[in-house]
Amino acid sequence: MFARAFARAVTRTATPRPATTNAIRAAALRRAALSTAAPSGGSSKIPIAIALIAASAGAYYYGVQSYPAIKQSAEQAKADKAAAAAEEEAPKEPEPLDYRKVAADIAELLDDVDYDDGSYGPVFVRLAWHASGTYNKADGTGGSNGATMRFSPEAADGANAGLDVARNRLEPIKAKYPQISYADLWTLAGVVAIKEMGGPSIPWKAGRTDAVSAAACPPQGRLPDASKDRKHVREVFNRMGFDDREIVALMGAHVLGRCHPDRSGYHLPWTYNPTTFTNAYYTLLQSESWKKEKNWDGPMQYTNKKGSGDIMMLPTDMEMLWDRTFKQYVKEFANDEQAWFDAFSSAFKKLLELGVQFPAEAQDIVLE
């Protein structure tokens, strides 16, 4: 009777408990009931019953006390699992772009027997030059940052005719490395092309961003006009912050490539090796006899061999000879190719970086 009363008291005051604890308690009560019902020696069995009931109560107490901890541990494990799954599914930080790999892939695009003189190198240099040569130091607009030639106002500028060829050629690189900006891609392509064609290793750094709309396009008319004179040449280059020596050094890029009637309106290459980066532009300026081209119905240009030659110079090129200051640098670079390489490398790097606010961590990369 005492055991049953005790059990009822515990039952009334207890909070809900796990099924395992109830089973232990029920077994203990059954054993106690059997013991107290024995026909003989019943009084001696009472302490045993009490002990069993006490054990049952202890087991019950332990179960009740342990249940919150067990429940909390299970909930914590569930939360940890959910957190781990969320971390695994969360977008990971992209690996830093290896620009040397990008450069190597660009180099693979240069040679093509079906394109001008077998190489896209010259048009890559022209793309980098024209994408950068719109800078205005007075208001900070233009320049390579933004890659605004992607938009119609600048892409349709007559000075940029034919550069869609270079932009399209580089699209597979952009697809392979989507994290590179077009502004970085185009300028890097110019640096790679110069190096691959035998020129200097021009330090280059990443960090340019792409504009989101045509609103960022600079006004048209900022690029050099090949038909004009030395005054125009100085206006264009001085606007960007270049001095006379830098002007002549940058003009030496005409050692590469050729003109096309359906692009610039002119025709013929400047040199006999238009895919090799040498100081031949300056040596030919000095050594050849340049006359206005005969039997040509396009814009005025100059050719060697008394006007019937197979290489040409534009009016702005001839100004490099006719202007006394410009001419002294033509002579310097014709006599010392390394001096030109150094001057060109410095000026071209400056050109590609005009107006760009690079991240603090940006560092120069020099291609080997």
pLDDT > 70 in the chain, percent: 78
What pLDDT is stored for residue 29 in this prediction?
46
User: Which of these ranges, 42-46, 66-70, 287-291, has the smallest mean pLDDT?
Assistant: 42-46
Q: For each of the domains in the chain, give its residue range(s) and CATH number, in order of start.
A: 2-89 (no CATH), 99-353 (1.10.420.10)
Residue tagged active-site, from 130, 186, 204, 340: 130
pLDDT band at 258 (very low <50, low <70, confident <90, very high): very high
The number of C-alpha atoms within 13 Å of 209 and in the hemisphere containing its C-beta is 8
Whether 254 and 317 have beta carbons less than 8 Å apart is answered as yes
Alpha-carbon span 65 to 324, nearest angstrom: 100
Alpha-carbon span 13 to 53, nearest angstrom: 16
Establish whether 254 is a catalytic residue.
no
Does residue 80 carry a pLDDT above 80?
no
pTM of the entire predicted model: 0.76
Q: What is the pLDDT of residues 235-245, one digit of tens each?
A: 999 999 999 99
How open is the CA angle 202-206-209, to the nearest 5 degrees? 130
Query: How remote is the C-alpha of 321 from its chain's centroid?
Result: 41
DSSP H helical segments within 146-279, as ranges? 152-155, 164-169, 171-176, 182-196, 230-240, 244-251
Of 179, 180, 185, 181, which Cα lies nearest the Cα of 166? 185
What pLDDT is stored for residue 32 in this prediction?
46
What pLDDT is stored for residue 60 in this prediction?
54
Residue 313 in 3-state DSSP?
strand
237-270 b/e (C-beta count within 10 Å ≥ 16 → b): bebbebebbbbbbbbbbbbbbbbbeebbebbbbb
Establish whether 260 is a catalytic residue.
no
Residue tagged active-site, from 186, 204, 270, 340: 270
